[in-house]
């Protein structure tokens, strides 16, 4: 019958009074380790073996709570991008409306942008008929509207330029009309209508909206 050392578990040779592996002496009344077991020494469970208990399973990390809306967003109920889009759309509408508002007031009646040649912004004395100023303004407004629908980076830059062009048109018209008022000894207030100022305001709204859109897009990236 095989037996083992109770100290180190090495096989015990019959007739030996001490372990040949560790030197532990065997007493005469000692029951050899593993002698009563029919299946031999049972290997100890490896401490590195993974536990199968449910508590040892790592639970997935909890998702962070959603960020609280800002005070301005909570009041308006819109995101920054939606607010910028509304500002840009308002600029497009104002630019389109300014075409039909009075640009010049006179005793004979008012003149809208379809009765003013675009080239007259650069030369008041020109007699060359070209494109009406109203058509130019509507084309610029259409470019900005397309940017709202397409959301293209290239088109966004063009829309920014269209907003600047709206401002330039209004400023150039006021400058030319003020020269005409000076030459004819009239008051600029009596000649100018509300349309040039509406065009400048529309251009400012479009420019601000396109700049904010580009800034929001860059920060999200």
pLDDT in tens, 133-179: 999 999 999 999 999 888 788 888 999 999 999 999 999 999 999 99
More confident residue, 38 or 98: 98
- Measured between alpha carbons, how far is 190 from 7 in angstroms, rounded to an integer? 116
Residue 68 has pLDDT above 80, yes or no: no
Residue 73 has pLDDT above 50, yes or no: no
Domain definitions of the chain by residue range = 1-30, 79-220
20-49 mean pLDDT? 55
The confidence band for 36, taking pLDDT boundaries of 50, 70 and 90, is very low
Residue 31 has pLDDT above 60, yes or no: no
* pLDDT the model gives residue 20: 76
Which SS3 state, helix, strand or coil, does residue 216 take?
helix
* pLDDT the model gives residue 205: 95
The confidence band for 219, taking pLDDT boundaries of 50, 70 and 90, is low
Calculate what percentage of the chain has a pLDDT beyond 70: 71
* pLDDT the model gives residue 212: 86
Strands 11-12, 3-4: pairing kind: antiparallel
Calculate what percentage of the chain has a pLDDT beyond 90: 36
Q: Would you say domain 79-220 falls under CATH 3.30.450?
A: no
Which SS3 state, helix, strand or coil, does residue 181 take?
helix
* pLDDT the model gives residue 136: 95
Q: Collect all residues with Cβ–Cβ distance below 8 Å to 6 and sequence separation of at least 6.
A: 24, 30, 32, 33
Nearest residue to 140 via CA among 182, 85, 185, 200: 200
């Amino acid at each position: 019958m095989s037996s083992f050392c109770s100290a180190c578990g090495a096989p015990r040779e019959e007739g030996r009074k001490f372990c040949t592996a560790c030197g532990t002496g065997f007493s005469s009344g000692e029951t050899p380790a593993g002698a009563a077991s029919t299946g031999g020494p049972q290997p100890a469970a490896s401490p590195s073996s993974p536990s199968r208990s449910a508590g040892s399973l790592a639970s997935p990390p909890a998702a962070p709570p959603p960020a609280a809306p800002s005070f301005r967003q909570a009041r308006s109920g819109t995101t920054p991008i939606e607010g910028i889009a509304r500002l840009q759309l308002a600029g497009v509408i104002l630019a389109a409306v300014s075409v039909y508002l009075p640009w010049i007031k006179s005793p004979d009646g008012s003149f809208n942008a379809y009765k003013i040649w675009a080239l007259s912004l650069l030369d008041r004395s020109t007699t060359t008929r070209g494109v009406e100023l109203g058509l130019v303004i509507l084309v610029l407004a259409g470019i900005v509207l397309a940017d709202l629908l397409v959301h293209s980076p290239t088109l966004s830059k063009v829309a920014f330029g269209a907003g600047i062009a709206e401002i330039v048109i209004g400023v150039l018209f006021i400058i030319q009309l003020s020269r005409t008022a000076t030459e004819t000894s009239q008051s600029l207030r009596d000649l100018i209508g509300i349309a040039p100022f509406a065009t400048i305001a529309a251009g400012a709204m479009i420019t601000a909206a396109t700049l904010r859109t580009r800034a929001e897009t860059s920060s999200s990236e």
